[in-house]
């Protein structure tokens, strides 16, 4: 079995400071990356910054800075964000790095050699904010100004000499590919949007610009720079040292297992990217998952709307793990979601403090009083085996992850937390002081439940999960998903360490 796993997030435009939407994409990807890691996969998890194009050039000009200096500054804030969000990314790519520039220019040459590029003139609408070209029927007029109907962003008229990619040639092969790979685009509803867009007909795509300079030069014509999306999408292979397809990284990790993206950039990932790759005779990624937006009220966050939710403020007030837990549990994955202080505080109080925190606290306190903080021996009864049983079906959980069923995974976790607390209450070990074997067995089972649940929680709230697992002597290197199912992994006789309060209840 192939035990390599390659997951990517979109590389961020360093034109605005990081907001909750950015944090969301990254946390989702980190969840999958961490799960795969503890399931024994070699995980390559890529993120980074997308630094070329008119949008960045204009943002730099507004700040009276050279584009590269501007990018150095803002890219750093995204790199810092990876630490703040406790991401387990294994690389951070910047599209201004030589490894990327070299890769993009090589891909361009392959497309040229494969007769996929021709010179013509682009006349039409362009949105700098989306870095996207739009057809006439995708434009609406409001108060004399033109906007894209899909993204709502302002468009401007462009007329210039441009190289074109023969996207129209790939209409049928793309439709065939979607049909043969029904899970290439998820969720299902978004796949249908993409298919109907392609069925409406694909026009050749303008893939170079001549009227500004902040981009990667076309290797065979230095007057043009490469369209920023062709440049940016290539990051997924430039980080694997493409064009050196014999390179170990490329051999191990391409094609990617999954590109996690927001729904606004699905067209680029599900149409343009596979078309570029097919045209270059390269393998296609296995999946593109377009998640929904984190809304501020009912609207998408954006600088122009001045409604940006700052993840750093929430982390400072409530802690990172609370935010991670909230985003993974409360947002129905694939759909839009939002954050309210009330819902976040409820999550912290009911799930994290009462359910998980309390279970850990009371079981360990009881174990300290009655078993000297040592894992006791056990003689299982039916009740004990029953409560441990649901954790045995590892493949069910793996399947949920492989189909990006985050919410079902989270519901399973919550059910198990309830079941564990109920088990401890119902068994009333405090009334079994004259039946040491029974008391010991209940403590063993409860400790084992904590160990299992904490392993399952690792992808969600890694810092807290490791704090708890540490009491069993488990750390980031030794945590292992497979061991979750086997109660033999919890060794009788080992001394446990104490635990501090995990989550403080918020008084309302």
Do the beta carbons of residue 36 and residue 260 sit within 8 Å? no
Residue with tokens 């793309």: 174
What per-residue string of b and e applies to 75-100 under the rule 16 or more CB within 10 Å gives b? beebbebbeebbbbbbebbbbbbeeb
Q: How far is the CB of 384 from ligand MSP (least distance, A)?
A: 43
E-assigned strand segments in 82-137:
91-94, 117-127, 132-134
State the DSSP H helix or E strand holding residue 218, giving kind and residue range, or none if neither. Answer: strand 217-218
Residues 6 or more apart from 369 whose CB is under 8 A from it? none
Q: Write down the least CB distance from residue 299 to ligand MSP, Å.
A: 9
Residue 255, preceding bond cis, omega within 30 degrees?
Answer: yes
Backbone phi and psi for residue 45, each to the nearest 5 degrees, phi listed first? -125, 115
Provide the minimum distance between the beta carbon of 15 and ligand MSP in the complex, in angstroms, as a whole number.
8
Tokens of 447: 């400790």
Positions that interact with ligand MSP (CB under 6 A): 10-13, 21-22, 24-25, 50, 232-233, 235, 261-262, 264-265, 293-294, 300-301
Can you count the helices (H) and strands (E) in the chain? 20, 18
Q: Which is nearer to ligand MSP, 190 or 451 (CB)?
A: 190
Closer residue to ligand MSP, CB minimum distance, 90 or 151: 151
Distance from C-alpha of 70 to C-alpha of 67, rounded to nearest angstrom: 5
List the 294-296 sheet strands across, edge first: 299-300, 294-296, 337-338
In the complex, what is the shortest distance from the CB of residue 430 to ligand MSP, in angstroms, rounded to a whole number?
Answer: 47
Work out how close the CB of 169 gets to ligand MSP at its nearest, in angstroms, rounded to a whole number.
22
CB of 48 to ligand MSP, least distance (A): 9
Nearest to 373 by CA among 437, 451, 436, 447: 447
Comparing C-alpha atoms, which of 462, 456, 500, 507 is closest to residue 481? 456
Q: Which residue is nearest to ligand MSP (CB)?
A: 262
Q: Report how far residue 273's alpha carbon sits from residue 285's, in angstroms, rounded to the nearest whole number.
A: 9
Q: Minimum CB separation from ligand MSP for residue 50, in Å? A: 3
In the complex, minimum distance from the CB of residue 264 to ligand MSP, in angstroms, rounded to a whole number: 5
As measured in angstroms, the least distance from the Cβ of 89 to ligand MSP is 14
User: Looking up tokens 């300079």, which residue turns up?
Assistant: 213
Q: Which is nearer to ligand MSP, 288 or 457 (CB)?
A: 288
Q: How many Å apart are CA 216 and CA 373, to the nearest integer?
A: 62
Q: Which is nearer to ligand MSP, 34 or 269 (CB)?
A: 269
Closer residue to ligand MSP, CB minimum distance, 111 or 233 = 233
Q: Which C-beta is closer to ligand MSP: that of 68 or that of 433?
A: 68
Q: What is the largest CA-CA distance in the chain?
A: 89
Nearer Cβ to ligand MSP (228/348) = 228
Residue 233 in tokens: 């999408």
- Give the separation between CA 279 and CA 263, rounded to whole angstroms: 24
Return the number of other C-beta atoms located less than 10 Å from residue 482's C-beta: 12
Nearer to ligand MSP, 57 or 454 (CB): 57
Q: What b/e sequence results for 36-69 when a residue is b if at least 16 CB atoms lie within 10 Å of its CB, and e otherwise?
A: bbbbebebbbbbbbbbbbbbbbbbbeeeeeebee
State the nearest-atom distance from the C-beta of 427 to ligand MSP, in Å.
Answer: 44
Nearer to ligand MSP, 57 or 420 (CB): 57
Which residue number, 243 or 262, has a Cβ lying nearer to ligand MSP? Answer: 262
């Amino acid at each position: 079995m192939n035990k390599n796993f390659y997951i990517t997030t979109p590389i961020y435009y360093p034109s605005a400071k990081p907001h909750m939407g950015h944090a969301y994409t990254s946390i989702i990807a980190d969840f999958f990356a961490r799960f795969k890691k503890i399931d024994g996969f070699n995980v390559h998890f890529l993120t980074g910054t997308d630094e070329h194009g008119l949008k960045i050039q204009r943002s730099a000009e507004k700040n009276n800075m050279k584009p590269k200096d501007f990018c150095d500054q803002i890219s750093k804030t995204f790199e810092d964000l990876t630490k703040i969000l406790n991401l387990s990314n294994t690389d951070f790519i910047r599209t201004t790095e030589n490894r990327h520039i070299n890769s993009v220019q090589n891909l361009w040459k392959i497309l040229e050699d494969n007769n996929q590029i021709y010179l013509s003139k682009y006349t039409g609408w362009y949105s700098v904010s989306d870095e996207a070209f739009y057809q006439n029927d995708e434009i609406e007029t409001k108060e004399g100004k033109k906007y894209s109907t899909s993204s709502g962003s302002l468009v401007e008229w462009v007329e210039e000499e441009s190289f074109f990619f023969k996207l129209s040639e790939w209409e049928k092969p793309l439709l065939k590919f979607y049909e043969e790979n029904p899970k290439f685009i998820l969720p299902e509803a978004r796949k249908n949007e993409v298919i109907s867009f392609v069925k409406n007909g694909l026009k050749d795509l303008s893939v170079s610009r001549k009227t500004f300079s902040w981009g990667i030069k076309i290797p065979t014509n230095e007057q043009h720079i490469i369209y920023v999306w062709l440049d940016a999408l290539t990051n997924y292979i430039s980080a694997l040292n493409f064009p050196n397809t014999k390179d170990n990284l490329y051999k191990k990790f391409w094609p990617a297992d999954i590109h996690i993206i927001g729904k606004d950039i699905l067209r680029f990932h599900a149409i343009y990217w596979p078309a570029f790759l097919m045209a270059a005779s390269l393998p296609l990624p296995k999946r593109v998952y377009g998640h929904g937006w984190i809304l501020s009220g009912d609207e998408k966050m954006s600088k122009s709307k001045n409604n940006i939710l700052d993840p750093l403020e929430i982390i400072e007030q409530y802690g990172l793990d609370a935010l991670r837990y909230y985003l993974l549990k409360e947002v129905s994955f694939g759909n839009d979601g939002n954050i309210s202080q009330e819902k976040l505080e409820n999550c912290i109080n009911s799930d994290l403090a009462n359910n998980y925190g309390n279970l850990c606290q009371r079981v360990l306190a009881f174990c300290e009083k009655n078993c000297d903080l040592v894992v006791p021996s056990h003689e299982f009864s039916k009740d004990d085996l029953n409560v441990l049983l649901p954790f045995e079906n590892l493949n069910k959980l793996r399947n949920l992850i492989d189909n990006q069923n985050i919410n079902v995974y989270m519901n399973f976790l919550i059910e198990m937390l309830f079941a564990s607390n109920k088990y401890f209450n119902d068994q009333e070990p405090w009334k079994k002081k004259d039946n040491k074997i029974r008391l010991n067995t209940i403590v063993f089972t409860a400790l084992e439940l904590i160990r299992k649940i904490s392993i399952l929680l690792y992808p969600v709230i890694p810092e807290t999960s490791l704090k708890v697992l540490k009491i069993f002597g488990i750390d980031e290197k030794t945590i292992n998903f497979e061991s979750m199912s086997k109660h033999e992994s919890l060794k009788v006789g080992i001394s446990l360490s104490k635990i501090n309060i995990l989550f403080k209840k918020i008084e309302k």
